Structure 1
Amino acid sequence: MSRRYFGTDGVRGPYGGPRVNEAFFARLAAAAGRFFREEAGGRLEQRVYLGRDTRESGPALEAAVAAGLRRVGLEPVSLGVLPTPAVSLACLKDRPLFAIMLSASHNPAADNGLKLIRADGFKLTDAEEVTIEGLLDEETTIEVTDVGGLEDLGAAARAYYREALAARFPNDLLRGWRVVVDAAHGAAAGLSSEVLARLGAEVIAIANEPDGARINNACGSQHPEGLVAAVRAHGARAGLAHDGDADRLLVCGESGALLDGDAIMAALALDALEREALPGRTLVATEQSNLGLDRCLQRAGGRVLRTPVGDRYVAETMRAGGFLIGGESSGHLILMEQNPSADGLGVALAVFSLAARKGVSLEQLAARLERFPAYSLTLPVVSKPPLDGLAGFSRALAGARHRLGSTGRVLARYSGTEPCLRLHVEAQSAEEARLVLDLLVAAARGDLSEA
Structure 2
Amino acid sequence: MKLRYFGTDGIRGAWGGPVLNDVFVHQCGFALAHFLQKHNPSKPITIVIGRDTRASGEEIEAGLCGGLCTNGIHVMLLGVVPTPAVSQVVRDLQADLGVAITASHNPATDNGIKLFDNRGLKFSVEAEAEIEGFIAEQTSKPEDANIFTCGYPYDGQGVYINTLKSQLHQHCIRDWKIVLDTANGATAETSPAVLRHFGAELVSIGDSPDGTNINAGVGSEHPDKLAEAVRREKARLGIAHDGDGDRLVVCDETGSVVDGDQLLGILALAALREGTLVHNTLVATVQSNFGLDKTLSKAGGRVERVAVGDRNVLLRMRALGCNLGGENSGHIIQRDISVAGDGLLAAVRLIAVMLRTGKPLSALRQEVELFPQATKNLRVAEKIPLEECPALSEAMKRLDEEFGQEGRQLVRYSGTEPKLRLLVEAADEASSQKGLELLIEAAKTDLEVIE
Could you tell me the TM-score, scaled by structure 2's length?
0.90
Q: For residues 386 and 140 of structure 2, what CA distance do their matches in structure 1 show?
A: 37
Cα pair distance change 1:401/1:33, threshold 3 Å: farther
Q: Which amino acid aligns with 2:349?
A: A
Cα pair distance change 1:152/1:199, threshold 3 Å: farther
In structure 2, the partner of 1:133 is 132
Q: CA deviation digits over 1:165-192, x for unaligned, max 9? A: 0012111221211011100110001221
Q: Check whether the contact 2:69–2:149 (CA below 8 A) recurs between aligned residues.
A: no
Q: For residues 421 and 393 of structure 2, what CA distance do their matches in structure 1 show?
A: 16
In structure 2, the partner of 1:39 is 39
Q: For residues 260 and 40 of structure 1, what CA distance do their matches in structure 2 show?
A: 44
In structure 2, the partner of 1:226 is 225
- Residue in structure 2 matching 1:402, options 397, 403, 408: 397
Q: For residues 194 and 220 of structure 1, what CA distance do their matches in structure 2 show?
A: 18
Q: Check whether the contact 1:284–1:325 (CA below 8 A) recurs between aligned residues.
A: yes
In structure 2, the partner of 1:208 is 207
Bigger radius of gyration:
2
Q: For residues 123 and 346 of structure 1, what CA distance do their matches in structure 2 show?
A: 18
Residue 367 in structure 1 maps to residue 362 in structure 2: no
Q: CA deviation digits over 1:209-264, x for unaligned, max 9? A: 11121111111111100000111111100011000000000011101122233112
In structure 2, the partner of 1:353 is 352
Could you tell me the TM-score, scaled by structure 1's length?
0.90
Q: Check whether the contact 2:66–2:150 (CA below 8 A) recurs between aligned residues.
A: no
Shift of 1:439: 6.4
Deviates more, 1:237-246 or 1:262-271: 262-271
Shift of 1:279: 1.3
Secondary structure in 2 matching 1:258:
coil
Q: For residues 387 and 55 of structure 1, what CA distance do their matches in structure 2 show?
A: 40
Q: Which amino acid aligns with 2:89?
A: A
Secondary structure in 1 matching 2:137:
coil
Q: Check whether the contact 1:294–1:304 (CA below 8 A) recurs between aligned residues.
A: yes
In structure 2, the partner of 1:17 is 17
Secondary structure in 1 matching 2:116:
strand
Q: Which amino acid aligns with 2:270?
A: D
Cα pair distance change 1:205/1:420, threshold 3 Å: farther
Q: Check whether the contact 2:69–2:150 (CA below 8 A) recurs between aligned residues.
A: no
Q: Check whether the contact 1:408–1:428 (CA below 8 A) recurs between aligned residues.
A: no
Q: For residues 231 and 203 of structure 1, what CA distance do their matches in structure 2 show?
A: 11
Q: For residues 209 and 59 of structure 1, what CA distance do their matches in structure 2 show?
A: 18
Q: Check whether the contact 1:250–1:331 (CA below 8 A) recurs between aligned residues.
A: yes
Q: CA deviation digits over 1:268-304, x for unaligned, max 9? A: 1111111221111111111111111111111111111
Q: Check whether the contact 1:400–1:410 (CA below 8 A) recurs between aligned residues.
A: no
Runs of 5+ in structure 1 lacking a partner? none
Q: For residues 238 and 390 of structure 1, what CA distance do their matches in structure 2 show?
A: 46
Runs of 5+ in structure 2 lacking a partner? none
Q: Which amino acid aligns with 1:409?
A: Q
Shift of 1:408: 1.5
Q: Check whether the contact 1:64–1:144 (CA below 8 A) recurs between aligned residues.
A: no
Deviates more, 1:310-319 or 1:203-212: 310-319
User: How many residues get paired?
Assistant: 443
Cα pair distance change 1:47/1:336, threshold 3 Å: same
Q: For residues 113 and 289 of structure 2, what CA distance do their matches in structure 1 show?
A: 29
Q: Check whether the contact 1:396–1:439 (CA below 8 A) recurs between aligned residues.
A: no
Q: Which amino acid aligns with 1:402?
A: K
Secondary structure in 2 matching 1:227:
helix
Cα pair distance change 1:296/1:140, threshold 3 Å: same
Q: Check whether the contact 2:379–2:450 (CA below 8 A) recurs between aligned residues.
A: no
Equivalent residues in 2 for 1:258-407, closer than 5 Å: 258-377=257-376, 386-388=383-385, 394-395=389-390, 397-405=392-400, 406=404, 407=407
Shift of 1:25: 2.5
Shift of 1:355: 0.5
Residue 114 in structure 1 maps to residue 109 in structure 2: no
Residue 447 in structure 1 maps to residue 448 in structure 2: yes
Cα pair distance change 1:164/1:80, threshold 3 Å: same
Cα pair distance change 1:28/1:203, threshold 3 Å: same
Q: Check whether the contact 1:23–1:144 (CA below 8 A) recurs between aligned residues.
A: no
Shift of 1:9: 0.8
Shift of 1:197: 0.5
Cα pair distance change 1:299/1:198, threshold 3 Å: same
Cα pair distance change 1:114/1:397, threshold 3 Å: farther
Shift of 1:46: 2.1
Q: Check whether the contact 1:173–1:353 (CA below 8 A) recurs between aligned residues.
A: no
Q: Check whether the contact 2:75–2:152 (CA below 8 A) recurs between aligned residues.
A: no
Cα pair distance change 1:202/1:429, threshold 3 Å: same
Shift of 1:266: 0.8
Q: For residues 113 and 257 of structure 1, what CA distance do their matches in structure 2 show?
A: 32
Q: For residues 110 and 387 of structure 2, what CA distance do their matches in structure 1 show?
A: 30
Q: Check whether the contact 2:379–2:419 (CA below 8 A) recurs between aligned residues.
A: yes
Secondary structure in 2 matching 1:326:
strand
Cα pair distance change 1:232/1:380, threshold 3 Å: farther
Secondary structure in 1 matching 2:242:
coil
